[in-house]
Amino acid sequence: MFNRDAVVREEQHFILSTLPPSATQKWLAAAVVAGIFVVFASITFGPLSGVHLRRVDAFVPAYVTAMFVCDAITAILLYVQFSIVRSRSTLVIASGYLFTALILIPFALVFPDAFAPGNLVGGLQSTSFLWLSQHAGFSVFVVAYALLKDEDPGKRLWQGTVGGGIALSAAATVAIVLLAALVCIAGDPLLPRVATDSLHFSPLWPYFIGAPVALLSLSALVVLWIRRRSVLDLWLMVVMWLYLIEVALSYYPDPQRFSVGWYTVRVIGFLSSSLVLIVLLHEISTLYARLLGAVLAQRREREARLMTGDAVAASIAHELRQPLTAMVTTADAGFRFLDRPLPNLDRAKEAFERIAADGHRAGDLIGTIRANFKSEVRERTSFQLGELIDEALALARSDLQKHGILVHTEPGRQLPEVRGNRVQLQQVLLNLIVNEIDAMAAKDEPRVLSVRSEAYDGDRVVVSVADTGTGIGSQDADRIFNPLFTTKSDGMGMGLSICRAIVEAHEGRLWFAPNTPQGAVFQFTLHTSGPASAAG
C-alpha cells in the first residue's frame, strides 16, 4: 500500500529527478515507443524497405552539430539540477550527456568524406567504434545513474562542493572521451574489420558493434524499469529503447551508410538526444508556472491574514475605546465637581468610583480577548501519537466501514511522545482521514487508507495519511490549502487551511504528495517532547 518513498521531503516535489511522471507523460512515452517500433517495422519489412536515398555528405556535419548542441544543453541543465539536489546519480547522468556531446567531435572528424575526401583522421573502423563508444558509454552512464539513485541519503548525496563535483566529473568525462578517441583513431589497424569500405558494414558489425550496444542499453532499460520512479527515469527508458531500435536499423535491412535505415537511425538518434532536453525544458517551465502560482497564493494568504489581523485589531480597539471614553469623561466630571468655589466632594468621590469600575471593565475585556485567542493553543500536553491515530480512526470507523475501506496502520516503533494540543491535532488527523474517505468513496476498489508515523529529522516525527483515491489534480495542487477552496459540492473549504494553521501553530508543516500508484499522501510534522522522553 505504502510506497517505500511515500515519505518524501516536500521541497523535492519541485525537482525533476524526483518528480513522479504524470499519467499523460506515461501515455506519451508509450506512444513514442510504439511509434518508433512502427517506423522500424515499416523500414525493415514494410513499404520503405526497398527505397534508396542519395548520399549527402553534408548531412553528417549538420547532424553532428545539432546533436552536440542538444546533448550539451541537456548536460548543463542536469548539472544545474545536481547543484540543487546534490545527488550523485544526477551528477552521473549529467556527465553521461556531456560524454555523448564530446564524443561527437572525434566521431565527426573520423567520418569518411564528411569534411574532406577520405578519413580526416583514423581509419575505416574508427567511425563505427566511436559510435559504439558513444552508445555503449552512455548506456553505462544510465546504468550507473539507475543504481545510484536509490541509495540511502548518506551515500546518495555528493559530500563535496558543487563546483568540485562538476569539475571532477567533467574532467573524468573528458579523459574518457580522449581515451576512447585515442583507441578508436590510433588503434584503427588493430580493430576488427566491421566496415568493408566507407559505406558498407561487414558481417562482423552485429557482433562487435551491435551486440554490445544492444546488451548494455537493454540492461539499462531493465535496471531503470525496476527502479523507475521519476520523470527522468521514464524518458531515459524511452532513450534506451530508441538505442535498441538504432542498433537494429543500422544493420537491417541494409548494412550500409546513407540507406533509409541509416538516415532513420540519425533521425532517431537526434530524437533520443533531444527527448530528455524537451522534457526538461517543458518541466522547467511548468514548474516555474507552478512556483509562481504558489508564490502568488502565499502572498494572497499573507494579505488575507493581515486583513484579518486588521479587523481583529479594529474590534479590540473599539471594545477598549468605550470604557476609556467613559473614564476620561467621568474624570472631567470629577474635576469639575472639585474645581468649584464650594467643591462637591460626594459627587467627585462618585466619579472616582466610576472611573475605577470602568478601569476594571477594560481589564476584564483584555482578559476575555486573550482567553479567546490563546487558551486553547496553550493547553499542550505530551502524548503517544499511536493513541491519537487509533482514536481518530475509531471516530471515523462507521464511515470507513460504510465505504468498505481497508485500514492499514504502521505505528512507528519506539517513537518518542509528541507535544501539542491533543484535541486540535486529533481534529487535524480526523479531517485528513475524512477527506481521504471522500476521495476514495468516489472511486472503485481498491480502497485502502494507510496511516503511519515515523521519526523525521532528529527531533520531529512525521505522520502520513495515504489513500488510493482520486488523487489531487495538478490544477488543484496550488490551491487546496486556500481557505475557500473545495472540490466537494457540500464542502465549506475551511478544512485543509485550518489543518495547516493548526499544524503551523505547533511549529510543524503540513503538505501532500501523490501516492503510488494512485491517490494522495498528506503528511505533517510535529515536535517530540524532547530527548529526555525518548524512551516513552
* Residues at the site binding another protein, with contacts judged by CB under 8 A: 318, 321-337, 347, 350-351, 354, 358, 361
Strands of the sheet containing 406-410, edge to edge, are 406-410, 448-456, 460-466, 520-527, 510-514
What number of helices (H) and strands (E) belong to the chain?
Answer: 17, 7
For the CB of residue 321, give the shortest distance to another protein in the complex, in Å. Answer: 5
Give whichever of 31 and 345 is closer to another protein, judged by the CB atom: 345
Judged by beta carbon, residue 172 or residue 345, the one nearer another protein is 345
Closest CB to another protein among residues 54, 318: 318
Nearest distance from C-beta of residue 346 to another protein, angstroms: 11
Angle 81-236-131 from CA coordinates, rounded to 5°: 105
CB of 477 to another protein, least distance (A): 40
Ranges of H-type helices in 2-49: 23-44
Q: Which residue has the cell 486556500?
A: 482
Contact 10, 510 (CB under 8 A): no
Identify which of residues 368 and 533 has a Cβ nearer to another protein in the complex.
Answer: 368
CB of 299 to another protein, least distance (A): 26
Q: Is 324 helix (H, G, I), strand (E, B) or coil?
A: helix
Distant-in-sequence, close-in-space partners of 297: CB < 8 Å, separation ≥ 6: 478, 479, 482
Nearer to another protein, 325 or 409 (CB): 325
Q: List all residues 6 or more positions away from 492 whose beta carbon is below 8 Å from its beta carbon.
A: 486
Q: Which of 384, 379, 377, 380 is nearest to 461 (CA)?
A: 384
Kindly state the smallest distance separating residue 351's Cβ from another protein, in Å. 6
Least distance CB 308 / another protein (angstroms)? 18
The answer to whether the Cα torsion of 329, 334, 339, 342 is positive or negative is positive
220/218 Cα distance (integer angstroms): 5
Closest approach of another protein to the CB of residue 311, in Å: 13
Q: Which of 479, 513, 520 is nearest to 496 (CA)?
A: 479
CA of residue 510 relative to chain centroid, distance: 16
Closest to another protein by CB, 225 vs 335, is: 335
Residue placing its CB nearer to another protein in the complex, 37 or 335: 335
Q: How far is the CB of 74 from another protein (least distance, A)?
A: 60
Q: Which residues contact 289 (CB under 8 A, 6 or more apart)?
A: none
CA pair distance 64, 95, nearest whole angstrom: 19
CA dihedral 294, 298, 300, 302 (to 10 degrees): 180
Distance of CA 215 to the CA centre of its chain: 31
Of 37 and 352, CB closest to another protein? 352
Which residue shows C-alpha cell 566511436? 130
Closest CB to another protein among 48 and 331?
Answer: 331
**Shortest distance in whole angstroms from residue 480 CB to another protein:** 36
> Residue 151 or residue 332: which is nearer to another protein going by CB?
332
Which residues make Cβ contacts (< 8 Å) with residue 48, sequence separation at least 6? 42, 260
Whether the Cβ atoms of residue 387 and residue 346 lie closer than 8 Å to each other: no
User: Please, what is the minimum distance in Å from the beta carbon of residue 334 to another protein?
Assistant: 8
Nearest CA-CA partner of 392 in 416, 417, 409, 369: 409
User: Closer to another protein at the Cβ: 126 or 330?
Assistant: 330
Nearest distance from C-beta of residue 303 to another protein, angstroms:
20
